[in-house]
Every structure is written in structure tokens, then in C-alpha cells.
Structure 1
Amino acid sequence: MKKLILFILTLCYLHATPFSVATYNVENLFDLNYDQTEYKEYIPKKGQWDTQIQETKLNNLAQVLNEMNADIVALQEIESQAALDALLQKVPQYQYHHFLKNSKTAVGTAFISKYKLLNPKRVYVTSKSKTIRHIQKVIVLIENKKFHLFNNHWSSKRQPESARIEYALALKKYIDALAHDIDYILLGDFNSNYNEYLSLKQDKKLNDSLGITGINQILNTTLDNEFVLKKNILNHTQKVHYNLWLDLPYNERFSYIYKGHNQTPDNILLSASLFDNQNISYLEESFQVFKPDYLYQNRNIKRWNKNRGYSDHLPIMASFDTKPYVPTKDTLPDYTTGYLYKTKRLDKPLTLKEVMVIYKHDNSAILKQKKSRAIYAFNNAKELNLGEVYDLEVEQIQNYFGLKEIKNFTIVAHKVNTINPSSFYKEANSIDLFDLEQQNEIITNLTGVFKNGYVYFDDKKIKLYAKDKTLLPNNGQNITIMSGHLGYYKSHVQIIIYQKSDFRVN
């Protein structure tokens, strides 16, 4: 019997077919016909949007599609079938395609594929808006195995969150009716960050939904404010989804940049069935942002600008296979503070031994082990004393806009210490302050001039933050940071000070 099972598994692997799926908001590909639904800058007119300018746009998009070479691509912001046909002439490898648009909207969505697209449908979004963009759905057949794809282009953030919840509810209703073993992928421009439930709370304009978001709470990429993870996705009875942004380090999670901040409006959400041992499976560690130098350089996305550039979005893509899912093998944890940066959440408590409190203010503390990294215990360190050493049982960790924190812990042992905590501080001139490996360290001896919220030093600048603004130096003062918390917030490194003694005026 064992030999028979081994034989069957071997056959599965021999006949496996890997393939890639991408999503790309191309930023307004219009045809040359006047339909009265165009944005004003795309009304056909010589020197504004004409044959020559359209040809440049088509050639640039074809360059991206050819070099990315995904097998199936979900596109957003295509005006018409005519615009799609013009693009397909540049990328003839995509023999199969489908376009969808509400006649009252300026742009629609499209699938282009090297594999057959079956049974195209429109998932209707119930809304009072006349310009709603319904969700495009197709079935793909590979090696006689089917999976469903849903192409989304949700309302922009000119609208509050309730507008995006309309899309999420339509999707949820449709996929809840699917059998649990049906493989499907939700992808496209959701105009929602993967962690929207965190950022929404801080935006009164958008938050008309009591903090509920379409992408997180409605589509169940989070449960009880915790992300659904691959290792437990099959344990849930309701339909849940894994967001592939979680596969990347925090600072690499972006397909769009708004006012200098990384954003993830483009998402690929996977059903739980893509992690079982049947039909289609996700290929581990295949998710990526496609960003060659001609698309992205020096924190700048080369967006379309009148007659040059590409798009304000970067494409994202992932690979799948017709063989059973193979999870990444986890290495044994070393149970150091450094290990906490390698994992997204703890399924069970772990013990950190000989952790020193190297800095403390009120109920928060910076903790550090010898020869390992510093980590922040936020608003839960009342029982810890500065300069003392503990064994801690860590129960929960969290990532607060990029900053790793210990959320809950219990003191296991309190130990004698003879080392000065300041000996664990890092000399500012001995490290790269902008290296994320240094986050949560306490730095010392950084001298520079404070101006408009930044410390200027060695032809560089770094933000200086204090919750209590009265703690900050005066503009133009030459200062030296004596004990600064090296933090990270929304893709930006910053130094945090908590008290006047954290710096001196020279």
C-alpha cells in the first residue's frame, strides 16, 4: 500500500504544471474614440491623447507584460475592448482574454491569459452609485484542474470605507456559496491596504464603518485583529483568506507610494483550499512585486505622465502549481529577541532568558539580550525595572506600522545584574541608522542640528519624534542624542525621545 501511495505521489509531481498570476493597475489605458465617459485628459485630441501618445503608452505596458511574463494577468483601468485589443496586438502570447465594464464608468477590468478562460461572469455589487465597478470573475483550466479568479477594482479613497465594504459584501456572498474545496484567488486593486483595519482607525474621513474594513473583517484576512496565517488557515470553519503581502518583510510591502508612505492597494488573497493537498496549490515564497529599475528607482514609481512613464502602481505576482502544497520548513527558533523579528505571531508562548531592561519610560521599556536585538515592550512593562535582568515568557507580539513590539509577557525569573544598561546602547556613528536590523535599539552620541522635525547630520536627516511636542528642541539648536529610541513608522525611520534627558543642547 505504501508503495502504491508513493507511486501516485510521484506521478503527481512528474505531471505538475507551475504557472504565475499577476495583477496590474495600468493607470488609464484609453482608446481613441470619444464616448463621453472619458476623464478630461483622455478625451482624444492632438497633443493630449492621440495616436502617438497612445502608442507610447501601449509600448510601455507591453514592455512590462513581456518582461514580467506572468501566465495570467488581471488588469485594471482599461477603458474598452478596443483599448484592450490594441494592447493585445503588442502581447500576442495572451491568446485568451475577457473585458468587463459598467457602461457609465470611465474604465473597466480585463483578464489576459495563456490558458483558457471559462464561464466569465459579473459579480454584481449592490450600490446606489451609478459608477460602481462590478467584479469580474472567470474560471481557468490548467491540466484539467479548475480554479476561479476574481478581478477587483474597488472604490478609491475619495469615498469612505462603506463604499469598499459594498464590494467586500458582494464578494463574500458569492464565495460563501462556493464549496469549501473550490480553489479561488481574489486579486486586483482593492484600494485597501493589507492592514487597513489599523490605518482606518486613524482616519476620521474614511472611517464611517466603526473601524470595520472590507478587506480585513468582511473578507476575513483577519480574525479578532490577528492576520490569518498559512500555518493555521485550514483550521477555520468559515471562509478565510491569506494575504500574500505577509510573505514579504514589512519594508518591502508596497505597490504604490502616497506622500512618501508605502501603500498596498493591490492585493492577492488566497483561499484556504490553495494550502491543502488537492488541485491547485500556492508555491511558497513566490510572491513578489515586479519593480525593475525602469518602473521603480530611488523611492519613485515611474508613473504615466502625459507622454511617458508606465503607471502609478507596480504589478504584483505569485506562482502556483498543480501539485500538492509544500510549506516552507521552519528552522528551530533560537529563542532570542532576534527570533521575534523572524515570525509574525506566536502560536504558543516562548521563553527569553536573561533579557535586560536597557531603557524605561512610564510603562514601556526597551529590552535586549547580549549578542541579540533590542525589542520594545509597549505599555506593559510596569513591573520591570531599569537595568535589571529577567527571564520572560512572551505570549504575544505585534507589528505596529513596521515596529516590532512585545504585546504580552509574564515574568518567569528576576536575576542579579552587574552591567550598566547604557553599555547596551549603540554608538550612532558605528551603525547605519536607516538599516531596519537596528530598529528598537537605543542609540547615543548622534550630534546634529534640529530643524523642522528633523536632525540634520553628515549630509543626512532623520525624523525626531516625541509624543509630547514640548520635549523637542528649538529650531536651529545643535543637539546630541544621548539615548534615542530608533523607531520605524509607516516606512520611515525615526528617533523617538520620551524625556528631556534623552538629548542635550550643545
Structure 2
Amino acid sequence: MRFSFSILALVIFLTGSLSARDFTVMVYNVENLFDVDGVALYGDYRQGDEGEYGEGPLLNKLEGIRIALAALNNGDGPEIILFQEFELDRTPYDTPSAEAFLKETKGQDLAAILDQRSNLPSELLLLKYLDDHGMGPYHIGQPDPVKSESHPPHKNVVFSKFPLNFVRQRDSYNARDLVIAGIDVDGHELIVLNNHWKSGASNARTEPIRVQNARVVRAELEAILLRNPSADVIIAGDFNCYYNHSAVFQDLEETAVNDVLGANGHEVRMVQQGSKNLYNLWFESDPAERGSEVWRGYWGTLMQMVITPGLYDNRGIQYLDNSFDRLAIPGENVDTRWGRPISWSNYGGGAGFSDHLPIYARFRSIPGEGSDGFVELDNPSDEPLSANRPKMDFARMNRMAVPRVGVLVAMSPEERVREVGELFQVDAELVSNRPARIRIGDLELEVYSPIRDLRDQINSMQPGDRLRCFADLDVFRGRLQVVVRDPSWIYRD
């Protein structure tokens, strides 16, 4: 009987070890996760007077990240996360390894740890917070701050529940170091290239810098594919350009993502023998749903995930067809009215998530040696590039349900920051112009519009003139402001 039980247990073990495993890869620009060592390139993140960045905002920031991660895998979080905008540590001395730090601090509260050790880097702070909430443990892949040639404010970081075979970095001109990590998934190597290219997607003058950033990535990818043409590779991150950049900006001679990297919408080519195609997973989504952030009333696709043909064969790691999506949680990381990302703000003790939505996709490890052939595709994309950019319909609203901006007066700063992104009715006299400001009770608010004609119209008003409009609440450089985002928001008498 005991012998039979042992044989049965062995069969179950072997069957489980040879079964396919599904896992999630997320890409998430968290918008400025800084530590609290008091040394930061951004003034907003240097500790100082009460109300500025410190332990309280940090813990709120970590909780927001945890909420986003916990939305996947039934609260367990993604197995692999490619993060952007962690602070590049300015005090990288005597930093313990991830494993040693978790072992050393097990059972200790993070707030209490911060009281004693304020020099811990951002990645260890998040690692500990997630571990305390039952998420992980994660291995960490990141650039060495000593080896970083340009020392940018931020770094790209990889969190993985699977072991890391290697981590290396490549300097990228006027951008954050490219981080390349080899991840051991059930004996198969998945290679991820974590990017954050030069900012300014809407500025054609910055595209040549992104072209240089893409050349670094392309060279690294070519070296990987030279060694193994069927390598399973994910190129992802904040590219600071659109998935269809060459169609949106047709006057550009060369674009980073479409011309240099070569990412496109031809999924049908991914299952052709010997293919060198690179497929951008935004083409998995309905064109109207493509967007990870909003800029001046239009959705952008700065967050991107591009994959190689190796992820379509029946060996190693395989992409699960049509599993790509953006993560939007109404009332948490997006507003409930239009579904826009709720940005992070240090105001009022810190609240919000990020100005970028995370994106994610599902993958599978194939047992053993796998087999010949490719995955069977369901409605594969063969979409050419077009200038598609979904527009926000800011005119769509129930005007009768919009509260007056005066309700903010009785609120504390902690309460006001939770109203960021919400719409209000404004009916107040200007106390100044250029920039325009209104005062309601003891609360002074700057008035702004991302639309130049509206901005000029508002700024041309004189102190004492009455402004009647709809506007949503925002924070700019630590100050509250109301933002008029559509011509229909101005009252017409």
C-alpha cells in the first residue's frame, strides 16, 4: 500500500512538472517611485517641510502599485513585471541583496524600518511592501548605478518570480539605461528588454533621440537572434512614441519604433518559418481601445510590448493569442467618468496611481522539448499602419450631476487630492490673469487649458471678470488647479 502510494505520488509529481504553465508579464511606468533618503534630482522628492514627499506619500505610493498588481492572477500579482520610473539610487552604499533584505526584515513593519533606515532604495521598499502583503517573492534585475554612464533620474527594473539567469545594461543616449534580463521559466529562457526612451512623443524634434535609443535595442536584439534565431524575446517599456508613430507623423524621415525597431501589426507573419518579424501587441486591441495615457484629449500608446516570432512556435515560451490588454480599474487607477489614468501627486500626503496605465499579456511555458510548428492563431492581425489616435469625448457628461467647485473649500488637503480628476462647476471671479486664478473662500486655484485657443481666451480675461465653466481638478507643481479640457465646458450666455 505504501509502495503504491509512493508510485502514485511520483506520477503526480512528474505529470505536474511536465505540464504547461501560464504566467503574466506586466509593463508598468509607475510615475516616480522615489526613496526617502533625502537625495533626489527632482525637488518634489527631496524631504523637507511638512507636506512634501516623505514616508507617508511613499507608503501611499506603494499601496497604489500593490492595488494595480493585485488586480491580476487573483490577487497574487504578475509573475514578471517590467517597471519604469524607479529612482536611480543616489546613495547606493551597502545595499543588501533582495533575498537578504527580505530575510533580515521578516516580521518587521516597513514604516518602522524606514524610521531606522532611510537610505533603502525604491526597489527594496516595493519588494518588502509586496512581500508583507503576500505577493512574491520576486527576484530583482536592475542596472548597476555605478556603471550607469549618464546617471539619469530614473531606472528600469525587472521583478520576476522566476530565477534570473543574467542581467545586463546598455547605455542609451539621453534616456534610461536599457536593462536586459534572462529569465528561467521552467528551464526555458525568456529574454526581456526593458526600455524607457527619450520623452516628448508629440515633439518631432525629439524623435532622432528615440531613433538612437531604438538602435541600441535593435543591436542588442540582433545579437540575441544571431545566437538563437528562435529566441523568446519581449521588448517592452515606455517607448515615448506611438505604436503607429510613422503614420501619425508622416513628415518624419525615420521613426524609432516602426523604422528602426521594425515593430508592426502583421501577426500573420509570426507563424511563417524563418520569420524575422516583430509584432506590436497593441494590434491585438480594438483600435478605439488603444491607449495607455491621455495627452491633450487624445489617447497615446507610449507603453508598448513587442514580441519575436520565437514566442509563436511550439517550443520554450509561447504567447497566448489575444491575451494582451491594458489594466484599467474604475475608481482606482482610472476615473469613473471617462476612464482616464489617475496620475500620482504628492499633494495632501500623496494619492493617485500613474499617468500611464499598465499593459500586460499572458504567456505559457511548453513542457519538455515541445514540438514542431506554430501556435494556431484566432483572427490574426495583418493591419497596416494608420494614423489612429482615439479622442476623448469630453463633451459627453451629465451636467446636472456635476458638483460646484466650492465643495473643495471645506475639505482637507488629504480629501482634496482624492478629488483629482473629478469634474466641477466653476462660477467665480478671476483674481489674476496670465496665469488666470480664481479664489473661492480661502482656496486659490489656477485655471489652465491644454487647448491653446481656450487658454488664450481664459488668460485674456481681466481680474474681476467672471469665469463660468466646467473644469476638472488637477495638481501642477504642488499646487491645485482646475483644467478646462473642451470648448463645450465654457458656459455660453
Is 1:70 matched up with 2:70? no
Tell whether the 8 Å contact from 2:298 to 2:389 is kept in structure 1 after alignment. Answer: no
Superposed, which structure 2 residues align to 1:204-243 within 5 Å? 207=252, 210=253, 212-222=254-264, 227=265, 229-235=266-272, 239-243=276-280
- 1:84 aligned onto 2:123: yes
Runs of at least 5 residues in structure 2 that lack an aligned partner in the other structure: 1-14, 90-120, 397-493
Matches of residues 298-317 of structure 1 in structure 2 within 5 Å? Answer: 298-299=337-338, 300-306=340-346, 307-317=350-360
Give the AA of the match of 2:344: W
Is 2:309 the partner of 1:272? Answer: yes
Note the C-alpha offset of 1:248. Answer: 0.4
Distance 1:329 1:261 in 2: 30
Residue 288 of structure 1 contacts residue 317 of structure 1 at CA under 8 Å; is this kept in 2? Answer: yes
Look up the SS of the partner of 1:169 in the other structure: helix
For 2:378 and 2:36, how far apart are their aligned partners in 1? 52
Please point out which of 101, 115, 136 is paired with 2:162: 115
- Aligned 8 A contact 1:230 1:275 in 2: no
Pairs within 5 Å for 1:103-502: 104-125=151-172, 127=173, 129=174, 132-157=175-200, 160-178=206-224, 179-201=228-250, 207=252, 210=253, 212-222=254-264, 227=265, 229-235=266-272, 239-293=276-330, 294-297=332-335, 298-299=337-338, 300-306=340-346, 307-323=350-366, 326-330=375-379, 344-345=382-383, 399-401=386-388
How far 1:243 sits from its partner (Å)?
Answer: 0.4
Retained in 2: the 8 A contact 1:80–1:99? Answer: no
Percent of matched pairs sharing the same residue: 25
Equivalent residue of 1:197, what SS? helix
Moved more, 58-67 or 138-147: 58-67
How far off its partner does 1:398 sit? 7.1
Distance change (3 Å), C-alpha of 1:401 and 1:95: closer
Equivalent residues, number: 317
In structure 2, C-alpha distance between the alignment counterparts of 1:26 and 1:175, rounded to whole Å: 26
Q: 1:115 to 1:13 in 2, by over 3 A?
A: closer
Q: Higher strand fraction: Structure 1 or Structure 2? A: 1
Q: Are the equivalent residues in 2 in contact too, given 1:253–1:264 (CA < 8 A)?
A: yes
The CA deviation at 1:237 is 5.7
Indicate the larger mover: 256-265 or 159-168: 159-168
1:240 Cα offset (Å)? 2.6
More helix by share: 2
Contact 2:283/2:381, CA 8 A, preserved across alignment: no
Instruction: Please give the alpha-carbon distance, in whole angstroms, between the structure 1 residues aligned to 2:326 and 2:249.
Output: 24
Secondary structure in 2 matching 1:111: strand
Helix, strand or coil at the partner of 2:152: coil
Partners of 1:278 and 1:71 lie apart in 2 by 20
Contact preservation (8 Å) 1:31, 1:80: no
Is 1:56 aligned with 2:60? yes
Q: Secondary structure at the match of 1:89?
A: helix
SS state of the match for residue 141, structure 2?
strand
Displacement, 1:41?
A: 1.2
Q: Do 1:154 and 1:167's aligned partners in 2 also have CA atoms closer than 8 Å?
A: yes
TM-score, L = length of structure 1: 0.59
CA distance in 2, matches of 1:401, 1:319: 25
Report the alpha carbon displacement of residue 105 of structure 1 after superposing the two structures with TM: 1.4
Higher relative contact order (CA 8 A, sep 6+): 2
1:83 CA drift (Å)? 1.0
SS in 2 for 1:284: coil
Specify the alignment match of 1:461 in structure 2. Answer: none
TM-score (norm 2): 0.60
Question: Cα 1:13–1:273, aligned 2, differ >3 Å: closer, same or farther?
Answer: farther
Higher Cα Rg, which structure: 1
2:427 matched to which residue of 1?
none
Q: Distance in 1 between matches of 2:262 and 2:386?
A: 19
Contact kept in structure 2, 1:25 and 1:311, CA below 8 Å: yes
| 1:99 positional shift | 2.3
- Pairwise CA RMSD: 2.6
SS of 2:259 mapped into structure 1: helix
What 5-or-longer segments of structure 1 have no aligned partner?
Answer: 1-10, 331-341, 346-396, 404-432, 435-506
Give the Å deviation of 1:220: 1.2
